[in-house]
Chains A and B, each alone.
Chain A
Amino acid sequence: MIGIIALVVGVLVGLWLDPTVPEWVQPYLPIAVVAALDAVLGGLRARLDGIFDGKVFVVSFVSNVVIAALIVLLGDELGVGAQLSTAVVVVLGIRIFANAAAIRRHLFGA
């Protein structure tokens, strides 16, 4: 439906724009990607649970990215940036798997 279309359009635009990502953004790309995946899967699961809300989708994605970036930024200042980045990715990753499992139960009942 329209969400998937918008998602695909976003991906294609991102690829087509071919922006040169500045050096300082580089370390935050992985967490942005993981937050994006988390938002997508969370949204899908909410949809299947019947409680999807568009505003929550946007807010949760943006806030996750911002908060994760702030955590990593703080970590960089303290010298543990790489470790915190890993921690963020791990936590979001767990969420991704949990939501994926829930989706799987919805779709396959297994």
Chain B
Amino acid sequence: MSEPRVPEPLRNLEPLRNLLPDLLDPGYARAAARRRSVRGPGAPAHAAPPPDDRRSQRVALVVGALLVGLVLGIAADDAAARAPGAEQARRGLVEDVRDARGTTDELSEQARGLAAGVQDAQREALAGDEVGEAALDTLRRLELTAGTVAVTGPGLRITVADGGEDRTVLDRDLQVLVNSVWASGAEAVAIGGVRLHPTATVRQAGGAVLVDNRPTAQPYVIEVIGDPAGLHTRLVDTEGYGRFATFTQVYGTRFTVETAQSLTLPAGTPAEPELARKEAGR
């Protein structure tokens, strides 16, 4: 039953079908024809072949199937053993990064809500009590120093971006610039909306920079709260400023410093120390 039933409309496509030969290996047809001629024209095509022939058939089948299986098995094993194509691995990474971002965003929201809850509960419990108020006061001053509370005030807004195609602004450059900013008398600094706190880092990741482990893309906006005029005057003399001024000339890097009347920087979120314990001072 090798002749398929061709429906009426498709018979018009006969010429097309003739382009594709019947694609079964012609060896089978020839072998079948040979067997038929050996057995005689009267015998049915499916009659069992003689025993010797059947045994060698079996052997050939087993050998063939083993070979085919070996090839498939080895190829599968090799494909699994080799590192997946660079593209596949990369795509996997992209997925992971996206997922991680989603997770951290969610957790960040959660953390913020909880922190607010703790603060409220604290205030409720301690307010109206002298000792409690004193403790709250100390806590608030420390929060301000450690950068764990949102602050607002005048200052500078510094924008940094690569001029051309090449990535020239590195984490090291940003660190030097931020160092110069602190040296100029800054009271609070944020990069890309991420507040700098005592354990915050600025690390490179290709075209983006991780500020406190949060990916920040160009242009990098550094917000600084402090005395705008004083900051600017002192900043101009610093190594960081000089470096970026050079970058502007040599690489065409974008580097602007403008005064801002009112900046609001979010609270920093340092992890509480695990290994370091407060010791009573001498």
Contacts and interface: CB of A to CB of B under 8 A. Distances in A.
B30 to A, nearest CB: 8
B24 interface: yes
Interface stretch (B61-69, B94-102, B128-136, B167-175): B61-69
B2 A102 contact: yes
A62 interface: yes
Interface residues on B, range: 35 or more
A14 B81 CA distance: 13
A interface residue count range (under 10 / 10 to 19 / 20 to 34 / 35 or more): 35 or more
Interface in B55-77: 56-77
B65 A7 contact: yes
Nearest to A91: B23
Interface in B8-27: 20, 22-25, 27
A56 B65 contact: no
Contact of A99 (B24, B30, B69): B24
A79 B23 CA distance: 29
A18 interface: yes
B32 A51 contact: yes
Given A29-B78, A42-B28, A53-B28, A10 B61 contact: no
Contact of B73 (A15, A37, A98, A105): A15
Interface of A: 2-21, 29-30, 32-33, 35-37, 39-40, 42-43, 45-46, 49-62, 65, 94-95, 98-99, 102, 105-106
